[in-house]
């Protein structure tokens, strides 16, 4: 974690929500405009003082539980390269819903430093159906194509419930010890919804030596309380103009959150 966590006491990773990509139901047919929007968001995060960026295919609903289409990866690579050239921040990829191979491949070609994997170990019941983690394949594929990329793995990921009586402590322990995740993510029930602070504290107690990130619902009002138990936050929704997720990133909101994190 030397390139990210060691340089900042508390890390802010801004999310570049890509607009609908080619092949998705809401694709608008203009890749250049989509890339320009993504680059502008990335620059706003950098201007506001964010420490890193996640790029994700947020506009591609409904998502698949398996591998995404080739055109999705191609478009994300084009956007990722443009963002990489526009800002100096470390970047990573989250290919929704759970395409770890695509995310690692994008890191390999775009200079990415980390990936987010929604279901890395265990199994979750989601709106895409049952998604099973595949740490075995993911770790071996990473070794082949992008060994430097770190794995940030969700524990009881949002928009999902665990299959069976699998406690958040058990999930966290297995994700680190058996899935070899580099950092853990705890989020709320859905996009923009805050995590249960008790869950964050339970994961922190279970994996005290593993970096812990908040994965949703972090705002100016709650960030200080949550960061007492976490090492940073992945934030998108609350940093958009007016707090509206479809709007551009507001650099002033980013700066205000960074100040609150460092207070």
Query: Do the domain assignments include residue 5?
Result: no
The pTM is what? 0.96
Sheet with 129-132, edge to edge strand ranges: 129-132, 123-126, 160-162
Query: Do the domain assignments include residue 2?
Result: no
Query: Do the domain assignments include residue 237?
Result: yes
Q: What is the pLDDT of residue 5?
A: 86
Query: Do the domain assignments include residue 87?
Result: yes
Please count the structural domains in the chain. Answer: 1
Structure tokens at 64: 């698949």
Question: Beta strand 123-126 with 211-214: parallel, antiparallel or unpaired?
Answer: unpaired
Q: What is the pLDDT of residue 7?
A: 82
Query: Do the domain assignments include residue 1?
Result: no
Q: What is the pLDDT of residue 3?
A: 66
Contact indicator for 246, 227 with CB cutoff of 8 Å: no
What count of Cα atoms within 13 Å lies in the side-chain half-sphere of residue 51? 21
| Domain carrying residue 228 | 11-262
Query: Do the domain assignments include residue 199?
Result: yes
Q: Give one DSSP letter per residue of 190-254, joined into a string.
A: STTPPPPHHHHHHHHHHSTTSEEEE-S---TTTHHHHTTT-SEEEE-GGGBGGG-TTSPB-HHHH
Query: Do the domain assignments include residue 4?
Result: no
Q: Count other Cβ atoms within 10 Å, centred on residue 209.
A: 5
Query: Do the domain assignments include residue 71?
Result: yes
Q: What is the C-alpha to C-alpha distance for residues 259 and 263, in angstroms, rounded to an integer?
A: 6
pLDDT digit string (tens) for the chain, length 263 residues:
456 888 888 999 999 999 999 999 999 999 999 999 999 999 999 999 999 999 999 999 999 999 999 999 999 999 999 999 999 999 999 999 999 999 999 999 999 999 999 999 999 999 999 999 999 999 999 999 999 999 999 999 999 999 888 999 999 999 999 999 999 999 998 888 899 999 999 999 999 999 999 999 999 999 999 999 999 999 999 999 999 999 999 999 999 999 999 87
Q: What is the C-alpha to C-alpha distance for residues 75 and 82, in angstroms, rounded to an integer?
A: 11
- Provide the CATH number for the domain around residue 222: 3.20.20.70
Question: Beta strand 52-56 with 211-214: parallel, antiparallel or unpaired?
Answer: unpaired
């Amino acid at each position: 974690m030397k390139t990210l966590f060691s340089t900042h006491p508390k890390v802010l990773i801004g999310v570049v929500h890509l607009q609908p990509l080619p092949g998705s139901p809401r694709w608008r047919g203009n890749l250049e405009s989509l890339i320009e929007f993504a680059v502008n968001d990335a620059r706003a995060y950098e201007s506001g003082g964010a420490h890193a960026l996640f790029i994700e295919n947020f506009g591609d609903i409904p998502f698949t539980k398996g591998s995404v289409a080739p055109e999705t990866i191609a478009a994300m690579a084009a956007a990722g390269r443009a963002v990489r050239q526009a800002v100096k921040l470390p970047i990573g990829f989250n290919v929704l819903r759970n395409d770890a191979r695509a995310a690692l491949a994008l890191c390999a070609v775009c200079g990415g430093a980390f990936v987010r994997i929604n279901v890395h170990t265990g199994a979750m019941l989601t709106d895409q159906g049952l998604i099973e983690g595949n740490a075995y394949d993911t770790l071996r594929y990473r070794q082949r194509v992008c060994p430097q990329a770190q794995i940030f793995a969700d524990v009881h990921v949002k928009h999902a419930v665990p299959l069976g009586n699998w406690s958040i402590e058990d999930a966290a322990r297995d994700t680190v010890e058996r899935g070899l995740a580099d950092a853990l993510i705890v989020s709320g029930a859905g996009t923009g919804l805050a995590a249960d602070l008790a869950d964050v504290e339970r994961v922190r107690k279970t994996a005290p030596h593993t970096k812990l990130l908040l994965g949703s619902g972090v705002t100016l009002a709650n960030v200080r309380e949550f960061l007492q138990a976490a090492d940073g936050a992945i934030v998108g929704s609350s940093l958009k103009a007016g707090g509206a997720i479809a709007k551009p990133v507001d650099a002033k909101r980013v700066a205000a959150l960074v100040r609150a994190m460092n207070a």
